[in-house]
Structure formats: C-alpha cells, structure tokens
C-alpha cells in the first residue's frame, strides 16, 4: 500500500515528492487511518493525511503560528485573527487547517461502514 500512497501523494502534493521525511509521514498517516472505514479510498485518505501532516510540519518549521488559517489581518495597530478548528462530531480536529485536511474531511463524510439489518432467521427463512 505504501507505494500506491506515495504515488498518490506525489500527484496531489508534488512539493513533497523528494522530501526526505516522506516515508516517515506516510507511516504516521497509515497509523491514523482506518482501512475498514475508508475501504477502497484508504490509499487516497492516507496520502491526504500525509500531505496535511507535512504542511503542518512546514508551517511549524517556518515559525508560523499554530492558530489555524488566517481569517483576517490588519496592519494599523496590528490585528490578526484565525479560524477556529473544526470538530469531527465532538472531537476537535486540526484537519481544517490545510486544504489537504479539508479534502480528507470531505472524503470522511462520504465514507464509512454501512450497517444493514435484514429480516429472516439464521436458517435462511
């Protein structure tokens, strides 16, 4: 799966194609992404999460604030505000802080395990 994740990542986030930490972040993203939940979209979900994590890393290295996406900015008397983080159900998430994270949230909304209940007995009746 790692090779297909890497290929997808190279297409959706070419800036990370030759990043020396790419395999580390793919591994991290794999540990955080459910094969059962995403099914056929698992490799894409892992690639999106990997790109998201790498963008956050780059922002941190560049000294950017962890406050989220910039919502507004003013120069006179300096005023800066950030968007608040989204929540997945009642769990706070940082996925809304990057475009890749937002795409993963969209994929998450369209994925998941379906549960069906059918009538009948175990004997087929």
Query: So what's the pLDDT on residue 86?
Result: 53
Per-position b or e across 35-71, b if 16+ CB within 10 A of its CB? eeebeeebbbbbbbbbbbbbbbeeeeeeeeeeebeee
The answer to whether residue 89 scores a pLDDT higher than 50 is yes
Contacts for 98 with CB less than 8 Å, ≥ 6 apart: 51, 52, 55, 56
Instruction: Please tell me the distance from the alpha carbon of residue 80 to that of residue 91, in angstroms, as a whole number.
Output: 26
- pLDDT digits over 24-48, tens only? 999 999 999 988 889 899 999 999 9
Can you give the residue ranges of every domain in the chain? 2-65+96-109
**pTM exceeds 0.95:** no
Q: How far apart are the first and last CA of the chain?
A: 41
């Amino acid at each position: 799966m790692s090779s297909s994740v890497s290929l997808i990542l190279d297409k959706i986030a070419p800036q990370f194609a030759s990043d020396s930490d790419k395999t580390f972040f793919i591994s991290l993203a794999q540990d955080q992404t459910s094969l059962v939940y995403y099914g056929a979209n698992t490799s894409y979900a892992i690639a999106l999460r990997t790109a998201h994590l790498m963008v956050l890393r780059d922002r941190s290295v560049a000294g950017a604030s962890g406050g989220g996406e910039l919502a507004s900015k003013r120069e006179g008397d300096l005023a800066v505000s950030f968007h608040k983080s989204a929540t997945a159900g009642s769990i706070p998430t940082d996925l809304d802080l990057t475009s890749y994270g937002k795409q993963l949230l969209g994929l998450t909304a369209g994925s998941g395990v379906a549960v069906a209940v059918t009538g009948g007995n175990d004997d087929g009746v």
